[in-house]
Amino acid sequence: MTTGAPPGARPPRQVAAIGAAVEAWGSATGQGSRRPDLPWRRTREPWPVLVSEVLAQQTQVSRVRPAYGRFLAAFPTPAACAGATLGDVLRAWEGMGYNRRARNLHRAAAAVVADHNGSVPDDLDALLALPGVGPYTARAVLAFAFGRDVGVVDTNAGRVLARAVAGRTLPPAEAQRLVDAMVPPGRGWSFGQALLDLGATVCTSRDPACPACPVRRRCRWAAAGRPTPDPARGSAGQSSTQPRFAGSDREGRGRLVAALCSRPLGAAEVAAAAGWPDDPGRAARVAEALVADGLAARGRDGGLWLP
C-alpha cells in the first residue's frame, strides 16, 4: 500500500519527538540569556504581532526593534492605521525600506476594519486574503497571537527542517506539512519561537553549532557527516541572494520616499532627491514606478508628494 510519504521519511512519532525536543529546549532557554528579549514576544495581541511580522520581513532585528515601538505608538490599532493617510504611515515606516510593505499594511488595516469589524481575523484563509500577508505571516499570526498549533517556516526554520528532520531539500508544501506535525499539542507559540531561535542561534547558515543543538542526535545531516551540498540550500524558506542595493533603482526609490516624507518635491527636484542629478531620465522612470505602486502622487507640473 502506498502512503504518499517521500522516500526515507521519518515515522510520525519521530517527527513529533523532534518537535517536543525543540520546544523543550526553547522553554528551558526562555528564562536565560540565549533567547532574545524581543518586545513583540511580550504580547499576544494580533495587531502588534502582525505589525512585527511585516516589519521583520527581509529586515534585521536590530532595525525592527525601534521601528516596532514607533509604528505602534502612531497606529495602536488597525482602525488608527486605516484612518491615516498612506503618507502618515510611510513617515512612521521611514528608514525601514521596502516601502511596499508599509502600503500593504495600510491596505491590510483597511480590510480588517471593513471586513472584520476592526479585529485581525483568526482564520488562515481570511489572513491570507489581507494585502501583503503570505503563508509565513498568516501562520505566524495564528501561532503567536492566537496560540494555534500551526508551524511557521521562515529562513531559519526551513534550515532546521531540511537539515535535522528531513536530511534533504524540502519543497514548501512538504516543509509545511512536516513542521505542522512537529508542533506539540497546545504549544504552538512556544514551539514556533523555539524553532525560529534554534535556526537563528544554533543551526546557522554558516558554521552551525551542532554540539549545542538539542536535536543533534536525531539530525540526519549531522549523522551523515554534514555532506555537501547543504540540504538547506534551495529548501523552503531559504531566500535567494538579494540584488546589490548600492546604485540600484531600489536605492533611488528609497531616497525619493525619504525626501517626500519631509515635503513635496517639485519636478526639478526629483532627480537630485533620487541621487541622480545627472540622470533625470532614470529618476523620472523610478518616480513613475512609485506613482504606479501608489507610493507617491504626481501633479500636473510633474511634482511628487505622498498620497
Q: pTM of the entire structure?
A: 0.89
Is the pLDDT assigned to residue 292 strictly greater than 50? yes
> Domains of the chain: which residue ranges?
12-35+150-223, 45-144, 249-305
DSSP H helices in the chain: 12-29, 46-55, 61-74, 78-82, 86-93, 100-116, 124-128, 135-144, 155-160, 172-182, 188-201, 220-223, 249-260, 270-274, 280-292
Question: Residue 113: which of 74, 88, 79 has the closest Cα?
Answer: 79
Of 53, 174, 269, 288, the catalytic one is: 53
Domain 12-35+150-223 has CATH 1.10.1670.10: yes
Residue 53 known to be catalytic: yes
Position 238 scores a pLDDT of: 63
Q: What is the pLDDT at residue 234?
A: 87
| Confidence at residue 302, expressed as pLDDT on a 0 to 100 scale | 86
Report which of 145, 140, 138 is spatially closest to residue 157, judged by C-alpha positions: 140
pLDDT digits (tens, 9 = 90+) for 48-83: 999 999 999 988 888 999 999 999 999 999 999 999
CATH superfamily to which 45-144 belongs: Hypothetical protein; domain 2 (1.10.340.30)
In the beta sheet, which residues pair with residue 305?
297
